[in-house]
Amino acid sequence: MKKIALFTSGGDAPGMNACIRSVVRTCIYHKIEVVGIMRGYEGMIDGEFISLNSKSVANIIQRGGTMLKTARSERFHTSEGRKQAYNNLKAYNIDGIIAIGGDGTFTGASIFNKEYDIPFIGIPGTIDNDLYGTDYTLGYDTALNTVIEAVDKIRDTASSHNRLFFIEVMGKDAGFIALRSGIAVGAEAVLIPETKTYIDTLIKKLQAGRRKSKTSGIVIVAEGDDAGGAYEVAKKVKEKFNHYDTRVSVLGHLQRGGSPSAKDRVLASQLGHAAVLNLIDEKTNLMIGLVNNNITSTPFDKAIKHNKSIKKELLNLVDILSI
């Protein structure tokens, strides 16, 4: 293993820069040349390769986003696009690749590896925390803390005006951000894609809170909830229960940005280091993760296809603590 390339792909996540730093400096330690690919698979097709050294990654551990940029690539879905990407990798004498991203990134890597024998190791970088084979993905902890900080501020104004706030957080297919942030902010209810939402049940819970003289309320809604986003849920509730002054707040891409937390920085450093070691050991098509505080590896197919399950005890905890 003489030259390793790395790239970030899909949605950006806090901690990606810390991971890039870890990969680059681990490669240098093992006397391996390292190359960054700009804009993910798009840059791989366009030949946007840059040499990286220790100085290249100085002063980035605290920065959100990704210095290598990221992009979606429709061309990589075609055999012609992947062929061009392969030609560029061979021209740069790349022996192995580290991909930082989510399920789409790993799906592309798995397909590419089957067509062209270049080893891939993946690092889970997504705020959704929805990949099987790791307890936490890069960016998840930071995103949680961003949501908590925002909702705490909203709670202040909700209490001042006797308002009921429906707050939408990211989570198109997974409710991990919604569930844990809901517990952390003391939400009256949490609505997530993994469970069916019954508006009448939600209204009964809000009515019970009003009878106990609650003067405000917070309902956390994952964007992929089956009853709709926060605006739709708020509309349905208000039609039958208009005792509160109702407001909606969509946190949106605020959750993606910001300086990574200590937990994300340490996790990124661990996973980046382990990814390089796996390539040195001639491993391929594996996602590096952290399970029970131990570094683990999971085949791409398993990490993508085995849905990570929500802990039911956390759902029950929301109900218990909202009385």
Residue positions annotated with a catalytic role = 128
φ and ψ at 23, to 5 degrees? -60, -50
Greatest C-alpha distance within the chain = 71
Alpha carbons 117 and 133: distance in angstroms, whole number: 24
φ and ψ at 47, to 5 degrees? 75, 35
Alpha carbons 36 and 44: distance in angstroms, whole number: 10
Secondary structure, 3-state, the chain: CCEEEEEECCCCCCCHHHHHHHHHHHHHHCCCEEEEECCHHHHHHHCCEEEECCHHHCCCCCCCCCCCCCCCCCHHHCHHHHHHHHHHHHHCCCCEEEEEECHHHHHHHHHHHHHCCCCEEEEEECCCCCCCCCCCCECHHHHHHHHHHHHHHHHHHHHHHCEEEEEEECCCCCCHHHHHHHHHHCCCEEECCCCCCCHHHHHHHHHHHHHCCCCCEEEEEECCCCCCCHHHHHHHHHHHCCCCEEEEEECHHHHCCCCCCHHHHHHHHHHHHHHHHHHHCCCCCEEEEEECCEEEEEEHHHHHHCCCCCCHHHHHHHHHHCC
Alpha carbons 299 and 40: distance in angstroms, whole number: 21
